Amino acid sequence: MVNSNRLRVGVIFGGRSVEHEVSLVSAMSVINGLDKQKYEVVPIGITHAGRWISAPNALELLKNHESIDHLPESIIVPDPTIHGLVKLNGSSATPLQLDVVFPVVHGTYAEDGTLQGLLELADIPYVGAGVLGSAVGMDKVVQKQLLEHAKIPVTKSIFFSAQEFVSDSKKIINFAERQIGYPMFVKPARSGSSVGISKSHNRKELQSHIEYAAQYDEKILVEKAVPNAREIECSVLGNESPKVSVPGEIIPSNEFYDYDAKYVDGKSTIVIPAKLSTTVRKKIQSAAIETFRVLECSGMARVDFLVNGKTNKFVVNEINTIPGFTTISMYPKLWEASGLPFAQLLDALIELALSRHQRKIKNKTTYIPKQEWYKKET
């Protein structure tokens, strides 16, 4: 480990994802929020093209789309004996050990288990869900199937591939109308920040919205819209014994909480704590923890619900295993309202990552058979 009184924390941001820009804003909050008396922060940026760099000003370079050609490529290698970052400069390579990684990357090639797999190979502790939890959390279809199996309420839905739709769009549209009915939401199965999501009110819109969603993923999800929907969110924190925050409500500026309503127009309203009866609040909080457990999450997640404003019946809309950490993001706001300030939240997440890693490395990775049979194989 690093010979320092401070933990060396690699903060990864950017990435090959439609949520690249959101990640940069989240990373700024995390980097600024980490106590520099406790942590030595190593910024690690991934460009839209997938190039890795590490420099004190990496965040500014990516945010301003400045040239990075003068910087050596810096990558995390899967060799567990290096346990960190390697800077490639011509024919030389300089290793930099990391005590823990804080991924602040959203979406594909990062939040979906791919980055977590690399960190597992490199044997570096990291904040957030593992490979399975991350992959399941990213895939809205598999996520719903697991929740349904656990008897956690979700919206009625169907899914299909983009190629199936190209082959016979009329058949799929007819099936969606019979099984789901208008209005319905069309979503890329593996995308975030509401990118590629549309609300369809008729056949013409449905055709167009499926074609739009197919630009972002090859698997498409179509869901029944919840009537009189209220957007309620809970933050979850922990490993084996997770805790849940007070619920919050988002009142979107648009018909639903799309990308513009989340980040652009600044007109959506947040109500913390959400105005819910004690009974409904407790049920939602319980469902948030159960969702976290069923989907094999750890460290952190934000669980989003849709509540019928008239009947108070709710469904789990989705889980986010690397929730936003911007100044307007619900995950830290909900914990702050629950009595856990931002800096202490970051401390807790790092402690959870280190604790999980310490338990995992106790598992044996070797086995000595009674006979050395494998040496006889030719």
DSSP string computed for 325-357:
-STT-HHHHHHHHTT--HHHHHHHHHHHHHHHH
- What is the maximum span of the chain, computed from C-alpha positions, in angstroms? 72
Return per-residue pLDDT of the chain as tens, 378 residues.
444 589 999 999 999 988 899 899 999 999 999 999 999 999 999 999 999 999 999 999 999 988 888 888 899 999 999 999 998 887 778 899 999 999 999 988 889 999 999 999 999 999 999 999 999 999 999 999 999 999 999 999 999 999 999 999 999 999 999 999 999 999 999 876 677 899 999 999 999 999 999 999 999 999 999 999 999 999 999 999 999 999 999 997 656 555 554 555 566 789 999 999 999 999 999 999 999 999 999 999 999 999 999 999 999 999 999 999 987 799 999 999 999 999 999 999 999 999 999 988 888 888 888 877 777 765
Q: Looking at the chain, which residues constitute the CATH 3.30.1490.20 domain(s)? A: 156-224
Cβ atoms of residues 198 and 190 within 8 Å: no
Four-way CATH pick for 7-126: 1.10.1040.10, 3.30.450.20, 3.40.50.20, 3.40.50.1580: 3.40.50.20
74, 82 in Cβ contact below 8 A? no
The whole-model pTM stands at 0.90
Separation CA 263–CA 277 (nearest Å): 29
Domain boundaries 229-360, CATH class = alpha beta
End-to-end, the C-alpha distance of the chain in Å comes to 40
DSSP 178-206: HHT-SSEEEEETT--TTTT-EEE-SHHHH
CATH architecture of 156-224: 2-Layer Sandwich (3.30)
